Amino acid sequence: MERSETPSIRRSYAIVFAQHMRMYCLVGLFGLTSIWAFQRYLRDSSRRNLVILSAANLLLVYSHYYGWLIIGLEFLYLLWKRRSAVLPFIGASLVVVALFSPWAWAAAQSLHAKGGLAENLGWVPRPDIRDLTWFYVELGGFTEFLRIGSRATLVIFVILYLKYRRRSEAGFHWLVVISLAPPLLTYLASQWLSQSIWGHRHLVFALWPFLIVLTDMIWNLRPLARSIAVAGIVVWAGFAAAAYSPEHQKIHWDRLTLAMLDEEPGIAARVPLYTVDPYLHYPIWFQLESLKSSRLTPLGPYLESRPDIGVLKAKAEKFAVNKVSSLDAAQGNYFWVGYVDSAWNGPQSPKQILEQRGCKTGHELTARDRFQSVRLFPVECIAASR
């Protein structure tokens, strides 16, 4: 499912990842805070500004490991533009490293126990040049225009380069560097390292300084051109708000999980759920575990008015979610199967395969977003197992 980060799939970069209940919003928040604090430090290399920057950097690296990329670029930029401030910055960064070291030790112990980074980064594909260029297209906001997106982004970058050469403020130069350098450096590192570290979601912090630079460019246009650009942005913002709402962009895992529990009769003592997809088991497992532990908030407002929460919890406790690589692993007299249609490559559907095996398949539940459908259905194989 992570391979959806390719030029073949269109999406609104900022809105999509703002809807993830994960660390990406924090990366964007503390990344922008660090970038802002670094600008203050460029203007005035005072101890107070260095303390603010270091506090922002500490929060940043505890949000995501990519925070170290921002800190590294801040160090390189000081070497390039403000060498007199390098030594205090190094000293403050060593304090950040010391405060981060307990987590680094715990993470290293966990990686050793798991046998390496395969589970955490094994899904990350090695990017090609299309992935890199398309990231910049996404920054420019042209993902809905497949034919002109690359050209329009190139025009923006040419104008940006000309503006960059004419401007002398270190703050403006820093925003351009932190917007455009991280994707390129990550792309190059992924070509060199044995394990790719590429991922659009991890680079979400680059969006906000890029938008600030574009805003600055628009503000310095002539009045007529500025008015036309602002009118276009307002129209585009209205379209984005309507087209990229969570209702259209996200699969509602809470509704799907509750629909599965409603469909389940609850007679069997144990109900395996086999998901033939590398990532499908995560959200369904989370919803079921939330219900088992009576943490009902993640299941959304659809659960609040239901009088049968106890029955749903009893059914959830019978489910055991299993990630499998093929339907051959789906064994037993009774179980559920889940798969993602866009990731299923077989000539026959899972239903057809199981029915040819002599099993009886039940009503299929479906949840869709703009790009894919998730399908769940119960299976009885009592006759086939005799």
366 vs 167, residue with greater confidence: 366
Cα radius of gyration rounded to whole Å, the chain: 25
Lowest mean pLDDT among 106-120, 311-325, 326-340: 106-120
Lowest mean pLDDT among 107-116, 184-193, 206-215, 285-294: 107-116
Cβ burial of 15 (10 Å; 0-12, 13-18, 19+) is: middle
Instruction: Look at residue 5 and tell me whether its pLDDT is greater than 80.
Output: no
pLDDT in tens, 31-86: 999 999 999 999 999 999 999 999 999 999 999 889 999 999 999 999 998 899 99
Arithmetic mean of pLDDT, 351-379: 90
* The overall pTM is greater than 0.75: no
96 vs 7, residue with greater confidence: 96
pLDDT band of residue 284 (cuts 50, 70, 90) is: very high
pLDDT of residue 140: 74
Lowest mean pLDDT among 92-96, 125-129, 271-275, 328-332: 125-129
pLDDT band of residue 248 (cuts 50, 70, 90) is: low
Query: Is 254:285 a contact under the CB 8 Å cutoff?
Result: no
Look at the block and give the residue holding tokens 């351009």. 176
Report the C-alpha gap between 194 and 192 in whole angstroms: 7
User: What is the average pLDDT score of the chain?
Assistant: 84
pLDDT of residue 13: 66
Instruction: Look at residue 145 and tell me whether its pLDDT is greater than 90.
Output: no
User: What are φ and ψ of residue 263, in 5° steps?
Assistant: -75, -25
Q: Which residues fall within 8 angstroms of residue 58, CB to CB, at 6 or more apart?
A: 96, 99, 100
| Residue ranges of domains in the chain | 2-219, 253-385
Report the C-alpha gap between 188 and 172 in whole angstroms: 25
Look at the block and give the residue holding tokens 């007529």. 224
pLDDT of residue 54: 97
Report the C-alpha gap between 55 and 51 in whole angstroms: 6
Query: Is 324:330 a contact under the CB 8 Å cutoff?
Result: yes
pLDDT of residue 207: 86
| Cα-based torsion angle of the residue sequence 98, 100, 104, 105 in order, rounded to the nearest 10 degrees | 50
Look at the block and give the residue holding tokens 């964007």. 28
Cα angle 236-230-166, degrees, rounded to a multiple of 5: 120
Q: Which residues fall within 8 angstroms of residue 181, CB to CB, at 6 or more apart?
A: 73
pLDDT of residue 18: 64
Query: Is 181:205 a contact under the CB 8 Å cutoff?
Result: no
Report the C-alpha gap between 103 and 59 in whole angstroms: 12
109 vs 99, residue with greater confidence: 99
Residue spans of beta strands (DSSP E) within the chain: 271-275, 319-323, 334-340, 360-361, 365-368, 373-380
Instruction: Look at residue 244 and tell me whether its pLDDT is greater than 70.
Output: no
pLDDT in tens, 148-187: 767 777 777 787 777 777 777 778 889 989 988 999 999 9
pLDDT band of residue 137 (cuts 50, 70, 90) is: confident
pLDDT of residue 385: 45
User: What are φ and ψ of residue 365, in 5° steps?
Assistant: -95, 140
Look at the block and give the residue holding tokens 């660390």. 23
